[in-house]
Amino acid sequence: MKDIFTSQRQKNPKEEWYVSERPEFRIISDEQFEKAQQIKEKNAKQYCQREKRSNKHLFSNLIKCNSCGFSYRRYQKQYSPNRPPKVWWTCSKRSSYGSGRCDSEYIRIDEDWLKSALNTLFKSLLDDRESFFTLVETRCNSIIKEYIRNTSGIVLEEVENRLDELKQERERLKTLAVKALITMDEAEHDMIPINEEIEKLSFRLNETNKTREITQKIKASIQAFLNTFSAFDFSGNITNEELKKVVKEIRVVSKNEIYVYFNIAEDIEGLNFPINISDVVEIDTDSNNRAQRCT
């Protein structure tokens, strides 16, 4: 614990750990533990490869279960030789390990329904592109504002000049000590506040540069997204890769809450806001209707 008053913690390197053996708490043998680690590693590798590889279908790796975080999996069944097969997507964890492993209700999304729902959603956003683009820009600006708030009031030149001054002062003290005009202790004592201020100013300078970088990055990402989105044509035969350029994720919370996250900026939190499909597309729960998504 770094600070007992705030309970702030820090991670120490392994060499500095104090390890206390408590054999009475053991529940498995070393062999069992090692074996479990091997299995765990093997499974993780397999799972990774599967996740990476799967771009086979239009929605591969795009639909996520909100309850367990696993991707939805595609199922296909030919009910009659004269009719096209029925294709749907459902939580892969729930379907592989049973309902006990995922808390979500059973949700089955008809692929054709989702395609047409997305098509409608995209069309409606493009028809009213002014408001959509304004919405994206407003989000973007509020994120930029937040970054700037932390570094506001900084005049770059002033900070840089002050840093130069402080560094010169530090050099002067060093020279005095070397020439034995002051003692080493005196020099060290006088350097404490100087070093503190240098550290503080360097930190702020660094933050300001970061803000500038992030602001540029956000603006570039948003422009790129708006261009891609305007040119996107959902009516054609699009691939998983093409769809992923525009859609980051489709998150299924419940039958009535299926959220689309657009791929606006890869790693900037807050910019990828969700849009609920059911705000745009009417939900059809009639079980006789082929376009239904849930059964």
Residue 214 or 274 with smaller CB distance to Zn ion: 274
Collapsed DSSP state (helix, strand, coil) of residue 86: strand
Query: Is residue 253 at the binding interface for Zn ion, with CB under 5 A as the rule?
Result: no
By CB under 5 A, the residues from 83 to 102 that bind Zn ion are 91, 93-94, 102
* Residue 71 touching Zn ion (CB under 5 A): no
Q: How far apart are CA 47 and CA 102, in angstroms?
A: 18
Minimal distance in Å, beta carbon 75 to Zn ion? 15
Contact between 281 and Zn ion per CB under 5 A: no
From 122, 97, 91, 95, select the one nearest 109 (Cα to Cα): 91
| Identity of the residue, 87 or 102, whose beta carbon is nearer to Zn ion in the bound complex | 102
Judged by beta carbon, residue 72 or residue 113, the one nearer Zn ion is 72
x/- map, 99-128, Zn ion, by CB under 5 A: ---x-x------------------------
Identified binder of Zn ion from the candidate list 67, 90, 221, 263, rule CB under 5 A:
67
CB-count burial class (<10 Å; 0-12, 13-18, 19+) for 289: exposed
**Helices in the chain by DSSP H: which ranges?**
30-53, 92-97, 111-127, 129-151, 156-178, 184-231, 240-246
Q: 70 vs 147, which CB is nearer to Zn ion?
A: 70
Nearest to 272 by CA among 241, 244, 236: 244
Binding flag, residue 68, Zn ion (CB under 5 A): yes
In the bound complex, what is the minimum distance in angstroms from residue 255's beta carbon to Zn ion? 14
For residue 46, what are the CA distances in angstroms to 62, 90, 96, 102, 211? Answer: 19, 21, 15, 21, 39
Residues that bind Zn ion (CB under 5 A): 65, 67-68, 91, 93-94, 102, 104
